[in-house]
Every structure is written in C-alpha cells, then in structure tokens.
Amino acid sequence: SDTPTHLVLYREFRGIRGVAHTHSTYATAWAQAKRGLPCYGTTHADSFRGTVPVTEELSARALAGDYEKETGLAIVQAFREAAPLEVPGVLVASHGPFTWGGSAMQAVENSIVLEQVALMALLTEGLAPDVGAISKSLLDKHFLRKHGAGAYYGQRG
C-alpha cells in the first residue's frame, strides 16, 4: 500500500536501494509530536548526520488525493536542507518513521537505529530538559569515520 511513497523516494533520493516504514513506539512518538529528532550524542551521529527531520502535516487536499504519493512528496520537501544519504530517515508528522539505505537490509538497520536513538533522546530530555545538540565537530567525526571518503571505523568485508 505504501508503494507510491517508496517510488517517490527512489526517484528523488539517488543512491537508495531500500525503503522501510514502521510504526515503532519511540520514533512514532516523535512523529506524532511533530518534532524533528535532535542529535544529542554519538550513537545517533554514527548513523544520522544531524537532526532527523519531521515533515509538514499533509493538507486536506493531499489527504483527499493520492495520499501515499503525497506522503512521499512531503518527505522530499523535508529534505530541502538535509542530505538524504547522510540522514537516512524521516518522521512523517502524525504518522511514523521512514528510513532508507543502499539495500533493503540497510533500510531496516536504519529503522532499528532510529528507534533506539528516539528512545535515547526522550530519556536525555527527561534527564536534562535544556540539553543542547551534539557539537558539529563531534557529530562530523562520528558520522564521517563510518561513512566518509576516508571511513575507517568498524569491521570491513
């Protein structure tokens, strides 16, 4: 049923080869709160280079039209200022998370990580309501050592 959403993402986000959509508890809670998921620590930064954005709510016109395609278009719009291959996930407002990757397995792995960092962020805000985002330099270090041109972290092959 979500194929039209996935097709928009495959067309617009060059390099993705798999899309996953869940209604996992914590990531969905952030989507329902209509809040982007801030990057507070290195676990998040290892997979997502910054805030996981939230889409705008779909308009009545979009809801009355091709809902699934409109969902995909809303996701694309949420990436006006983020790189979809560096932030391989989104929170669809009042709905839930979508993730993607270079394969279906990678898309699922990104869903698992997204759920865990959503839980961590919720707990972090509970402990420190005024916490700030991770520093740009630490965010970039963690993301690029796994995903950059000179990636070296983790086991290869």
- Catalytic residue numbers read 46, 153
Tell me phi and psi for residue 124, to 5 degrees. Answer: -60, -45
Exposure on the CB side of residue 135, measured as CA atoms within 13 A: 3
**What is the distance between the alpha carbons of residues 31 and 21, in angstroms, rounded to a whole number?**
13
Nearest one of 7, 13, 19, 8 to 98, comparing CA atoms: 19
CB 122 within 8 A of CB 26: yes
Buried/exposed 26-36: b ≥16 CB within 10 Å, e otherwise: bbbebbeeebb
**What is the distance between the alpha carbons of residues 102 and 106, in angstroms, rounded to a whole number?**
6
